[in-house]
Amino acid sequence: MLFRYSADAKGRPVKKAIIYTKDEHSISPQKIDPDALFIVKQLHSHGYDAYIVGGAVRDLLVQKEPKDFDIVTDATPSKIKKIFRNSRIIGRRFRLVHVFFGPKIFEVSTFRSISDGSVGNSFGTMDEDALRRDFTLNALYYDPLKEQVIDYVGGLKDIQKRIIRPVIPLDRIFEEDPVRMLRAVKYAATTGCTMPRSLKRKICKSAHLLSPVSPSRLTEELMKIINSGHAYDIIRAAMEVDLFMHLQPAATAMMYANSEFKSSYFKHLQELDAFHASNPTARLGLRLSYLIYDFTAGLTDWQAEVDQKSATAELYSRTWAQCRNFVLPMNPQRTELEFAIRTVLRQLGVSVHIPKRAFSSCKSNVAGENHEQGIVGAVKNAANHNKKSHDHTHEHHHNRDKLDAAVSRRRHSGRRRSKSGVSAAISTGN
């Protein structure tokens, strides 16, 4: 075991990090992507330090194959761009470089400073960069040339203990970037690590901070969940700490209002994960179909629509608008959502030979509706049109207005509320 030192204000050496040699960690050099290794070697040959960082190191330590190999260096984006012709600089505020090798994209970033907190954009040192990472299991650096793991925050031991521990103090970590709450839940569900009670409690109290996060960022996180192969575990964990209501408020409201809908929704999430295991490269539209199936199936009596030979184009147009509202604030590619709806309707026995002009009015219909109207409209529509069960329809319609109020209170409150609390709010109202 080695140590990394830095000088303090008086020039005295201060121990900063533990360096684990190749005999002290379980990372095999053969597991390193050859193109990632090439990038590190090229940066070194030009006089820069470079390391594999984050999730790739975490996965390698637990014998999992990393999905991505992110690299961090002391070279600035412009210097990186000069070294690699097959690259481009992305980002306006947080600039980094994408290096392309065929279909593979490697993200190469520059060490960041903590002078402006954990979300500033100033370049810094490796010592500072480690303290900007969200959780200790993601704050490990691997030098593939020396085969060493550099650990500033005790991340290797936390991985061995199977615990998720934040690097940034709890009083700042989620205020500075609320999306970190979703990452904590995702790591817990996918790595087998546990969150301490203090971290869970903080997430519950801070869940409301997700409300102002842009739809594009929430969509990005949802896409990661859908494509993870662990959607069931992640969403179940997100429900427990009140996060999912900010990702999919309409679905959450319907799950709180109807246990049958919740059971079926989670059943389809399990089917989605099984589908991912056998079809890891399947298009997004197929994956989205698992999320919208229960909602779409409850919009109307589809068999009656087929028997009555309802105007398919008009029916399809209305279904698209309702599903578009249902998945808000997620904003998937339009063609993929259309494909998902076609897939579900086909499963429900509805012909999907629909001309493209059927969508000519969809865009204008949806554009005028704000986020909250979409949520309430989706919930109300499902309550009004669900013909599968007379008892269910009657009960859902009866509680509709109270449910809207309960959902509104949950979405705008930072206080922790349990499922039983929400159920009580729905059943009693004001």
68 is catalytic: yes
Q: What pairing do the DSSP bridges indicate for beta strands 104-110 and 70-73?
A: parallel
The catalytic residue among 33, 59, 129, 134 is 134
Residue 100, φ and ψ in degrees, nearest 5: -105, 130
Query: Catalytic: which of 35, 49, 68, 143?
Result: 68
**Best CA proximity match to 126, nearest among 240, 13, 48, 58:** 48
| Residue 161: how many other CB atoms lie within 10 Å | 11
Q: What DSSP designation does 359 have?
A: G
Using CA atoms, how far residue 423 sits from 206, 349, 373, 409, in Å, is 21, 34, 22, 12
Q: State whether residue 235 is helix, strand or coil.
A: helix
Does residue 127 carry a catalytic annotation?
no
Q: How far apart are CA 408 and CA 402, in angstroms?
A: 10
Sign of the four-CA dihedral 235, 236, 241, 242 = positive
How far apart are alpha carbons 22 and 2 in whole angstroms?
11
Q: Which of 347, 320, 358 is nearest to 336 (CA)?
A: 320
C-alpha to C-alpha distance for 395 and 147, rounded to whole angstroms: 62
Q: How far apart are CA 269 and CA 238, in angstroms?
A: 13
Q: Which residue has the tokens 């940066």?
A: 43
Q: Choose, from 59, 70, 158, 273, the residue flagged as catalytic.
A: 70
Beta carbons of 118 and 169 less than 8 angstroms apart? no
In this structure, how many other beta carbons lie within 10 angstroms of the beta carbon of residue 34?
8
| 239-242, Cβ contacts within 8 angstroms, sequence gap of 24 or more | 239/419, 241/181, 241/185, 241/200, 241/203, 241/204, 241/207, 242/204, 242/207, 242/410, 242/416, 242/417
The H or E element that residue 99 is part of is: strand 96-101
Q: Tell me if residue 70 is catalytic.
A: yes
Which residues are catalytic, by number?
A: 68, 70, 134
